[in-house]
Structure 1
Amino acid sequence: MGQLPLVCRACGGQAAANHKIRAHVGVLILMKFEHLDGPFCRTCGIAVVRQMTTRALCLGWWGPLSLVIFNPFTLLWNLLAYLKYSKLPPSAPAPGRAHLDTGPPVLRRPLAYVALIPMVWAMCVVFQIIVHST
């Protein structure tokens, strides 16, 4: 018996892939792991990847383990999801439904640049450790 083709859970589009999209929120010692499971079509998948990646870039760096381990892996996972969804052919949504709004690319969203604050702080700490150890 053949497997049924996947349809997008958001718009009902016929060309869809199943990939989990993640976001991570790290605050000091507290962490929250978020995810949305597919299947999504090309447009809806990219929309969700952009939304969740922006959330991780804004809120995922504010704890030590989040900064070093969890958020970088979350971003890498979302990059793989983006590559998977971007390879899908475009598909039309089901009648009466619409694609999710992709919005601007991640690097054109102001909230994505909140990530620079903890990254600069982490680089300063590493620089201070290097300077004081020599």
Structure 2
Amino acid sequence: MELFKAALPTRDTLPTSFYEVKRYMQDLGFGYTIIDACPNNCVLFKGPLQSEKECPKCQHPRYNPGKRDEVAIKKARYFPIKGRLQRLFMMKSIAKDMRWHNDKCVDDDVLRHSADGVSWKSFDRYHSWFASDPRNV
């Protein structure tokens, strides 16, 4: 980070360490949550399984055997989407683009956008309560 910062013309705006970058990202809502996972992708050790030491489906151990510290063999990172979508709708120009599928989509049997696809149309038919909101993405 120091080498990169030295190459930039303004030196007082860039964070000096990876820790500072992570802190800024967390403050902006770009953080993530680390959840222990089964090495065979059976379950996430979250909620009622949070205290389990092995997978309830395949009995694979959650932690590295023979290690003194309990370090999970596999971890998943969860990036919450709600805050990211809210920030997209805060900017007028981007919010307009986020509603394109509702406002400007032309139904002429030409596939230009995901909203023209059969799956999207089928989803809209079955979940009309969701499709009625122009902000659905």
Q: What TM-score does the superposition give when structure 2 sets the normalisation length?
A: 0.22
More helix by share: 1
Structure of greater relative contact order (alpha carbons < 8 Å, 6+ residues apart): 1
What is the TM-score normalised by the length of structure 1? Answer: 0.22
Say which structure is richer in strand.
1
* Rg comparison, structure with higher value: 2
